[in-house]
Chains A and B, each alone.
Chain A
Amino acid sequence: MNDMTMAVRKPADSTVRSNEPRKPIYLDYQATTPMDPRVLDAMMPYFIEKFGNPHSRNHPHGWEAEEAVEKARKQVAELIGADEREIVFTSGATESNNLAIAGVARFYKDRKNHIITVVTEHKCVLDTCRHLEQEGFEVTYLPVKPDGLLDLEVLKQAITPKTVLVSVMAVNNEIGVIQPIKEIGKICRERGVFFHTDAAQAYGKIPLDVNEMNIDLMSISGHKIYGPKGIGALFVRRKPRVRMIALIHGGGQERGFRSGTLPTPLCVGLGEAAAIAKREMAQEAERLTKLRDRFYESIKARLPEVYLNGDLGNRIPGNLNISFAYVEGEGLMMGIKDLSVSSGSACTSASLEPSYVLRALGVEEDLAHTSLRIGFGRFTTESEVDYAADRIVEAVQKLRAMSPLWEMAQDGIDIKSIKWAAH
């Protein structure tokens, strides 16, 4: 074990040239984001000085904390045009998704028992749906088009008189594509079906308005928007009213939807993160789009046979998901050790299948193994992007030179014509 742990640091340092940044570059903003220092500043007083329980109704310490929590609730609501009374604080988007889907399904189960979702949803949505199937609910998992977007006609046809809920993510976590949320909301409202959207990757990144888009429930995450980890929220519409059965029982906080003492500093952090996003979203989106395009153009200009996964037009500014044909993703990541990116290859995770999201787009397995997700964010600089592009081009060229598949492709051999033995 000893030499394994040492191995990580040594080569990274020895390959760094003097004019290169020494710290690893973070390009995985869809996994998580660092906290914005302004968020931390807002949170600090609520750990020691203003520590009260926001549910203590009878003394100044409680009032002080309650005031902070309610201000945060308003900030969270304002970013999506909601009323603060429609915001329920949770531990994060996973809990919000569980609560929204299971909570609504279980409340209305005597009347309706059918849920519609999409195959490219986050695991916490898909896994909640699997559990509900075991409870007797029927779930339809809709396919997506090759660009990653939902076909609205397919959705319309899937809705039945038994459908209680449609759950479609606003932005996909792997490929960053933006679903036609407004159109989906309209269809759901017309058909009298609740519409839930997992907006963990969308909230604070793209404009969202729960009324304009007819959204009934929306899951929100703190740590994807430069806020703290361990906090999220669920928007639950009041008119027309959405009812749910709680997952966590106790003192009846959060209108009975989510018992437990609210973590005041985390709520304040989420609120501040939302307020900053509201102020800066437009200009930040413009900046990130420029950075992303600069990176992508630089890669494409120097490397043949790179393929973008997911639609480019309907995509959040800070995401790229690229297949570098003939170079396996994990092998590639080893060649760019000072860049923190993520790979759609099976080898990087515990499962043996490559990314189910890429497979759902119809990306061939061999190409799915060659994909990298590159995420840009608030603290990404132009020089980091240029450096990252250089390193990736270098590594891909080196690995292609030693790839038997690249050699065959250069010799005009179609690798699909070969009978490979699966192993």
Chain B
Amino acid sequence: MAYSDKVVDHYEHPRNVGSFDKNEAGVGTGLVGAPACGDVMKLQIKVSPEGIIEDAKFKTFGCGSAIASSSLVTEWVKGKSLDEAASIKNTEIAQHLALPPVKIHCSVLAEDAIKAAVADYRKKHQA
């Protein structure tokens, strides 16, 4: 199967690979997927006191499309508010990366990862 240039670019030069300390107050962590299904994404966001995402990191176990989807969203969420980030749709990710139909689930997982990271941050700051 052929990959789009954008998928290949993100695979070969992944943006923002790494981890933040998940116990840090400003950090929200999303861990989605399952090893048995062949993909797991960990997406972390670092949020400023004003509620803006200042930085993001990811680690992904999965195929090239899964790696590219998570790499892409770390770029997209930076500078966004939590609500803006959580409104990123999987269809935008899939379209941007020109994912074929069998790889749409990778973009769904990336959307889920953002939502999970935002939810984790909000849960921490509820109290």
Residues of chain A having any CB pair with chain B under 8 Å:
3-8, 10-11, 15, 326-331, 334-335, 345-347, 354, 364-366, 369, 401-407, 415, 420-423
Contacts and interface: CB of A to CB of B under 8 A. Distances in A.
Given A7-B8, A405-B40, A331 B35 contact: no
B3 A4 contact: yes
In order of increasing CB-CB distance, the 9 nearest A-B pairs are: A366-B35, A420-B34, A365-B36, A404-B42, A330-B63, A404-B59, A334-B64, A369-B38, A4-B2
Given A328-B38, A422-B37, A7 B61 contact: no
Interface stretch (B9-17, B77-85, B118-126): B9-17
A3 B14 CA distance: 20
A281 to B, nearest CB: 36
Interface string B1-38: 01111011001101001010000000000011111111
Given A328-B63, A402-B60, A422 B8 contact: no
By secondary structure, the B interface counts as mixed
Nearest to A400: B61
Interface string B45-83: 000000000000011111110110000000000000000
B61 A326 contact: yes
Chain B interface residue number, banded: 35 or more
Given A5-B2, A401-B17, A423 B37 contact: yes
A4 B6 CA distance: 9
Contact of B34 (A8, A346, A423): A423
Contacts of A366: 35-36
B41 interface: yes
A354 B60 CA distance: 19
Contacts of B63: 328, 330-331, 334, 345, 347
B1 to A, nearest CB: 8
Contacts of B109: 423
B7 to A, nearest CB: 8
Given A326-B61, A334-B63, A404 B41 contact: yes
A422 B2 contact: no
B109 to A, nearest CB: 7
A351 to B, nearest CB: 11
B66 to A, nearest CB: 7
